[in-house]
Amino acid sequence: MAFLPILAAVPNTLAWSPKVAIVMILCNILAIAIGKFTIKYPSSPPAMPSPELFGGFGLPAVLGTASFGHILGAGAILGLANLGVL
């Protein structure tokens, strides 16, 4: 029973809007740019169906950069919503 006030302290979540989508897209582009310069073997197998479309990344690099971009995006969206910008 002592933890019930902690459970009630959930922050308001933000509804989807085009501003939220733009922030997520920008964070994913940033993550892909970071991955392009830091991944040692970006074209490791298995390859993507059209490597030119994915910047020469293999499947592991695409999954890694997209996951990192979504983590960055979630943090940025929550932070900007908490500041009142979104």
- pLDDT, one tens digit per residue, over 13-65 is 788 999 999 999 999 999 999 999 998 988 778 878 877 777 788 889 999 99
Q: Is 36 a domain residue? A: yes
Q: Is 40 a domain residue? A: yes
Q: Each residue of 67-85: b (16+ CB within 10 Å) or e?
A: ebbeebbeebbeeebeeee
Higher pLDDT, 55 or 3: 55
* Tally of domains in the chain: 1
Higher pLDDT, 60 or 12: 60
Q: Which domain holds residue 22?
A: 17-83
Q: Is 5 a domain residue? A: no
DSSP string across the chain: -TTHHHHH-PPPPPPP-HHHHHHHHHHHHHHHHHHHHH-S-TTPSSBPSSTTTTTT-BHHHHHHHHHHHHHHHHHHHHHHHHHT--
Higher pLDDT, 11 or 24: 24
Residue 67, pLDDT above cutoff 80: yes
Q: Is 59 a domain residue? A: yes
Q: Is 34 a domain residue? A: yes
